[in-house]
Structure 1
Amino acid sequence: MQNLLTDIAGVRVGHADDAALASGVTAILFDQPVVAAIDIRGGGPGVREDALLDPVNTVERIDGIALSGGSAFGLEAASGIQAWLAERGRGFAIRDALIPIVPGAIMFDLLNGGNKAWGRYAPYRELGYAAAAAADTTFALGSVGAGLGATTANLQGGLGSASATTRGGIKVAAIAVVNAVGSVTVGDGPWFWAAPYEMDGEFGSRGLPASFTPDMLAMRIKGGPAASASENTTITLVVTDAILTKAQAKRLAMMAQTGMARAIYPVHLPLDGDIVFAAATCAKPIEPLVELSELGMVAANVLARAIARGVYHARPLPFAGALPSWQDRFGS
């Protein structure tokens, strides 16, 4: 176990980003099509193919997922991943036609100091293709891929991942691009809201403060009173090797959303676009009540850890006025 999304067999992750742009794309590829669903709790989401993931709709499985910066421009990242998959004969078959199914989600990073004067067409389709080509069973965390330009209310955001195994031997892992309107840390200190779920010192072993003051519980949001509904969004994916239906994958995504509430304060605001994709590679049978409930519980814990790890591993952007990273303020 690498404590990464790719601890689930048949899953690969690739990044492509541009330092001058201060933005990028992360591609998640599945060696075989997977059952998938989505749950959206924030008020300002940006998604592609979300309707297809509804349990009542026809297509059962998907080939990949795109996570991207760039706001609505970044939805083109999925087209690049789709092109890479099409070249390799992947896709949903309709007679002789093959259509790679690649849902995607985006977050807003257009005002982070990077050069967004890209001309007629944004670069996200090509970044998506490059991310797919780079996909592997290990990948970097922090200021990479879709997490390069991410921010939170008080610190640089980033891309994180984590994994775990249930008592019954079912694996579940998460990846998160943390661009929250709220904060991932408590007050002005080094403590992560997700501290109770930390494993093996994966984000600094700082625990929680001895007590909570009113100031720690006050609302800290990106931009303060001038915050914009377009400037945020935490986009995530949880993957399991359990055999799930689309309806069960939807329930898993809903349960995993609890992990955002454990890691970000405040969360699910009108200013956010908080999204959880859930996917199942369908390798191991699972009992549909108690075991599925435990899987959702563990998935929420794993997602909380992935969010904290994204901020823990981030590095500041090299622009005037950029937010500090957790490592800058609290690292040793």
Structure 2
Amino acid sequence: MPSEKGAERAITSVTQIPGILAGHATLPDAATGCTVIVCPEGATGGVDVRGGAPATRETDLLRPEETVDVLHAVVLSGGSAYGLAASCGVAEELERRGYGLDVGVARVPIVSGACLFDLACGDPHVRPGVEEGRAACAAAFGRAGEPLERGNAGAGAGCTVGKLAGPGRAMKSGLGEDVECAGELVCGAVSAVNACGDVRDPDTGEMVAGMRTEDGRALASSTDALLGGYAQMPLERTNTTISCVVTNARLTKAQATKVAQMAADAYAHAISPTHTTNDGDTVFVMATGAVEAPVDAVGALAVRALGRAIADGARQAEGAHGYPAARDLGGSQG
């Protein structure tokens, strides 16, 4: 489980942060699914979008100058833009359970989300929709406190990385998680890693998964391929790493936005190249408000958690649909 080396950790999953639930709906045969992170009583939200090809829902609402100051769920989904429908299912399930912003005549759950392109991994005609969103949300309530499944689960089902030399040299990735603590302050991160670049361990620089050599037996460098002029992107705008950082810190919307901006630096620590024109990289923040902490401390801890979650997504994946995973190569190389 995600942990610091040599230290015991009381919290190993975002589902163990008070007030936070999380669950998946997975369609393994089609290599797609969705993951929902829920704060039923509402969190303070922020977002940072740096990729060139995002597919998102309710990101403008999270801007500090907008008036809605609560966020009930973040949905990470496969299915490209079609997967945005999963967020509707999450909203419907939250409404059914009585959660949402009280607008007088009804409760309206505030649900933000982002999608990744996994149509080329499995069945392009099967995408997460309203039913999968409902199911993932119900699973979050039904598995309260249980660790979140990682790897080829939820939004990680169809994730791949290292695609700058074409799909024949790419690798399977997945959904990763990490939780970091500094005293009473907790930051957890969930990330669905579908980058066109390579994934590296942010602590050691060691490559975990990415573009393979021509014989497929070892790892090569996507950045070197790009700079050497022999990289290719057969399908443009088909990659993204979408993430949610959860913290128990007390933040304003402006502060949550700053934490999201800082957390996005984790992509540069763990993915190379990143934030390209072919990626829709997005980071959400949900703050439950239980602990007072300096914003810079929250951001620094979020960077650590998210970088390690991205590497975890590559490590936890299993080979599928013709794409080998890191474990299939018998290790990684720098």
Could you say whether these structures have the same fold, taking a TM-score greater than 0.5 normalized by the shorter chain as the test? yes
Indicate the residue corresponding to 1:134 in structure 2: 139
| Matching of residue 276 in structure 1 with residue 276 in structure 2 | no
* CA–CA separation in structure 2 for the residues paired with 1:220 and 1:144: 30
Correspondence for 1:323: 323
More strand by share: 2
Distance 1:297 1:329 in 2: 32
Q: Distance in 2 between matches of 1:52 and 1:219?
A: 39
Counterpart in 1 of 2:81? 72
- Alpha-carbon contact 2:78-2:128 (below 8 Å) kept: no
Match of 2:196 in 1: 181
Q: 1:219 to 1:7 in 2, by over 3 A?
A: farther
Contact 1:182 1:264 in 2 (8 A): yes
The answer to whether 1:98 aligns with 2:101 is no
Give % identity. Answer: 38
Q: Is the 8 A contact 2:26 2:154 kept in 1?
A: yes
Q: Once the two structures are superposed, what CA deviation does each residue of 1:230-269 show, in whole Å capped at 9, x if it has no partner?
A: 2100000111111100000000000001111100000011
Q: 1:269 to 1:131 in 2, by over 3 A?
A: same
Q: Which digits, 9 at most, give the CA deviation of each residue in 1:25-68, with x for residues without a partner?
A: 10111131000010001000000001110110010001111110
Structure 1: gaps spanning 5 or more residues: 185-191, 204-213
Residue 116 of structure 1 aligns with which residue?
A: 124
How far is the alpha carbon of 1:76 from its aligned partner?
Answer: 0.3
Please state if 1:46 is matched with 2:52.
no
Q: 1:285 aligns with which of 292, 301, 306?
A: 292
Aligned pair count reads 299
1:287-316 superposed Cα distances (whole Å, 9 cap, x missing partner):
xxxx22122111101100000001100011
**What SS does structure 1 have at the residue aligned with 2:177?**
strand
Deviation at 1:225, TM superposition (A): 1.6
- What is the deviation of 1:197? 9.0
Whole-angstrom CA distance in 2 between matches of 1:215 and 1:66: 31
Please list every run of at least 4 consecutive aligned residues from structure 1 whose deviation after the TM superposition is greater than 6 angstroms.
none
1:116 Cα deviation (Å)?
3.1
TM-score computed with the length of structure 2 as normaliser: 0.84
1:158 maps to amino acid = G
Partner of 2:298: 295
RMSD of aligned residue pairs (Cα, Å):
2.3
Instruction: Confirm or deny that 1:309 pairs with 2:317.
Output: no
Q: In the alignment, does 2:276 pair up with 1:260?
A: no
Q: TM-score, normalised by structure 1?
A: 0.85
Tell whether the 8 Å contact from 1:219 to 1:266 is kept in structure 2 after alignment. Answer: no
Matched residue, 2:31 = 22
Distance 2:13 2:261 in 1: 21
Query: Which position in structure 1 is the counterpart of 2:174?
Result: 158
* 2:210 equivalent to 1:241: no
